[in-house]
Amino acid sequence: MVVRAALVVAVLACTALVSAIVYASESQQTADHKAAAERDAQMGIETSFNFKRIDAKVTTSGVVGDKRLSALKAEGYDVVINLLPDNNEYAVPDEASIVTGQGLTYTYIPVEWSAPTRADFDAFEKAMDANRGKTIHVHCAANWRVSAFYGLFAERQGIWTREQADAHMRAIWKPDEHPSWTTLIREIRGE
């Protein structure tokens, strides 16, 4: 009987120990998930793929994600210009609602990667002009579309020289390896 009682006590002790370990593990997982959620909520737009700060009023990037977009008002932005088509795998579902729900201006100019057009650039230039003086974030998938459009815009506005515009684009990608983009850049430059 004593051996049986000792065995019951040992089993109960082991059960209590296992329960304590499981509880501690679950508590740690919950804490880890909360910490990850807080980090995600605090992720600023500057952590976006290929983020570039042009100046105090304009930033550009590739993929942004819904959490970063949701924080733009708190970061002081007024405008988002999206050059990424909604059917792209990196597009943020309901991006327009996320942005306008914060009271920000949202401009959607879906630029097809393989077939950028002069009309796309003209719409971008018009959006930039319409929002002059406001804090703007422009994005696409990898900041390739954006860097080309912003470089050309800055060059046409006299903000940058051609060399500065080209350096900006080439710091992110190589436009001359993409014939449709080379053709568009030449067309906009009047070459």
Superfamily of domain 45-188: Protein tyrosine phosphatase superfamily (3.90.190.10)
Convert the pLDDT of each residue in 108-134 to its tens digit: 999 999 999 999 999 999 999 999 999
Task: Give me the phi and psi of 29, to 5 degrees please.
Answer: -65, -40
User: Is beta strand 136-139 parallel, antiparallel or unpaired with respect to 79-82?
Assistant: parallel
| Radius of gyration, CA atoms only, the chain | 26
Higher-confidence position of 37 and 73: 73
pLDDT computed for residue 104 by the predictor: 98
Question: Rounded CA gap, 127 and 16, in Å?
Answer: 65
Burial of 178 (0-12, 13-18, 19+ CB in 10 A): middle
Convert the pLDDT of each residue in 20-44 to its tens digit: 444 444 455 455 544 433 444 457 9
User: Is beta strand 52-53 parallel, antiparallel or unpaired with respect to 58-61?
Assistant: antiparallel
Average pLDDT (80-95) is: 97
Of 152, 126, 123, 128, nearest to 138 (Cα)?
Answer: 128
Does the pLDDT at position 149 exceed 80?
Answer: yes
Other residues' Cβ atoms within 10 Å of the Cβ of residue 171: 12
pLDDT grade for 4, boundaries at 50, 70 and 90: low
What are the residue boundaries of the structural domains of the chain, listed by start?
Answer: 1-42, 45-188
Q: Which residue intervals of 80-178 are DSSP H helices?
A: 95-100, 118-130, 144-157, 162-170
Q: What would the two tokens of residue 98 be? A: 């996320």
